[in-house]
Amino acid sequence: MNTPLSKDDTRRQVLRILGEIAPEADTTSLRPDVSFRDQLDLDSMDFLNFVVALHKEFHIEIPEADYPKYMTLNGCLTQLSAARS
């Protein structure tokens, strides 16, 4: 494992992944505590693709039961930092 990513790096990567799933969305104005689905019009397929991309990028296991924890930007950052510490 490489040196741990800073929170800013993690944030950038999460936003990049979101940008790939919803290319037309402006992720810079994303509100961190509001769900992606509501802000970016993601459907269940988009969200599954997002979770798969997080899994590949950060090498973490995300059980389906944990999906709700990844629905917001802050939620993702909390989960990712917990998983990597």
Partner 1 sequence: MAEFLMPTLGADMTDGTLVQWKKKEGDRIAKGETIAEVDTEKAAIDVESHTTGIIERLITRPGDKVPVGTVMAIIREEGGPTTSVASPRAVATPPSPPPPSPRTERAAVAPSQVGRLRISPAAKKLAAERGIEASTLQGTGPEGAITLDDIDRATTATTDIAKPVGTADRQARMRQTIAAAMARSKREIPHYYLSTTIDMGRAITWLKDSNEQRPVTERLLYGVLLIKAVALALRRVPELNALWKDGEAHRSERIHIGTAISLRQGGLVAPALHDADRLSLSELMQNFQDLVKRARAGSLRSSELSDPTITVTSLGEQGVETVFGVIYPPQVALVGFGKVVERPWVADGLVVPRPVLMASLSADHRVTDGHRGGLFLAEIDRLLQEPQSL
The contact set with partner 1 (CB under 8 A) reads 22-24, 41, 43-45, 48-49, 51-52, 55, 61-65
- Residue 7 or 59: which CB sits closer to partner 1? 59
**Smallest distance from the beta carbon of 78 to partner 1, in angstroms?**
19
- Residue 8 or 63: which CB sits closer to partner 1? 63
Pairwise CA distance, residues 10 & 77, whole Å: 7
């269940």: which residue's tokens?
Answer: 44
- Residue 52 or 82: which CB sits closer to partner 1? 52
What does the buried/exposed string (b/e) look like for 24-55 if buried means 16 or more CB atoms within 10 Å of the residue's CB? ebebeebeeeebbeebbebeeebbeebbebbe
